[in-house]
Amino acid sequence: MTTDRIELFGIQIDSLRMTGAVDRLMTWMGSDTDTGCRFVVTPNVDHTVLLQTSAPLREAYDDADMVLADGWPVVFASRLFGKPLPERVTGSDLIPALFRAADKSAPLKTFLLGAAPGVAQRAAVNVHKQYPNVQIVGTYSPPLGFENDAEENQQILERIADAQPQLLVIGLGAPKQELWIHKVRHEVAAKVAVCAGATIDFLAGEKSRAPRWMQRTGLEWAYRIGTDPQRLAKRYAKDAIVFPRILWNEWMKPGLRSPDFSK
């Protein structure tokens, strides 16, 4: 890798703004060099908690070609510990930013993998309306438990190979999406894969993002838990207990520089 990375919570995170991430990914997707599928992960607080006890997820993160800080607490912690990340770069913002950067003379060929049945198709319709420089070349919603079904996985890989996308948007939820792409990356016929969580749902209008002011002030978690309490309340409660311990352990490491909140 040619970009600067910082080490935080045992994760190597790329110190990139959205513009830098988009430029790098567009270069990768436009390259004629056969480098295989490069993949992107976006750690937030929940990922950070999971990484403390999941060796397979740590291996996936170590293998990732780009690691972008999704959560404001992760960015804040980087500044607290004297190795500041420039800004938060979420998967849900990264995909539309890539779509906006697409060249009309060569539409960005994209495959949407994930979400509930029918959702990716609705997302494709919206993308075609909003981003004329993007071509959705395939969509698929894998069945529950697909990751343990060799035949189903082979069919997914064949669907992607038939479509020949430059960009694979993976919306399978964490840590399933990260573990899956880590396992099959050398068989995926795409230039770049982004583990993007609920992004396909957002593109389809199935779910809504928090208002911009909540995103900017680090309160998006409150909006999300308010709109999906049954699924997220337990997860966020666990994160609220475990993440402060992770912060304390990081604080106790030797050699920390003074906090930097200027960036």
**For the segment 181-240, what is each residue's pLDDT rounded down to a tens digit?**
999 999 999 999 999 999 999 999 998 766 776 677 666 666 566 666 666 667 767 778
Query: Which pTM does this prediction carry?
Result: 0.89
At which residue do the structure tokens 């069919």 appear? 155
At which residue do the structure tokens 């990264």 appear? 94
Amino acid 145: pLDDT? 93
Helix axes 55-63, 176-184, angle to 10 degrees: 60
At which residue do the structure tokens 């770069």 appear? 89
For residues 186 and 193, the answer to whether their CB atoms sit within 8 Å is no
Q: Which residues of the chain have pLDDT under 70?
A: 1-3, 209-210, 213-214, 217-233, 236, 255-263
**196-227 b/e (C-beta count within 10 Å ≥ 16 → b):** bbbbbbbbbebbebbeeeebeeeebbeebbee
Amino acid 45: pLDDT? 92
Amino acid 188: pLDDT? 97
Amino acid 1: pLDDT? 43
Counting other chains too, the contacts that 76-81 makes at CB distance below 8 Å and 24 or more residues apart are: 76/218, 77/8, 77/9, 77/247, 77/250, 78/6, 78/8, 78/13, 79/259, 79/260, 79/261, 79/263, 80/247, 80/259, 81/8, 81/250, 81/251, 81/256, 81/257, 81/259
Amino acid 2: pLDDT? 45
What does the alpha-carbon distance between residue 236 and residue 119 come to, in Å, rounded to a whole number? 25
What does the alpha-carbon distance between residue 166 and residue 154 come to, in Å, rounded to a whole number? 19
At which residue do the structure tokens 């990922």 appear? 47
For residues 65 and 186, the answer to whether their CB atoms sit within 8 Å is no
Amino acid 252: pLDDT? 85
Pairing mode, if any, of strands 5-8 and 11-14?
antiparallel
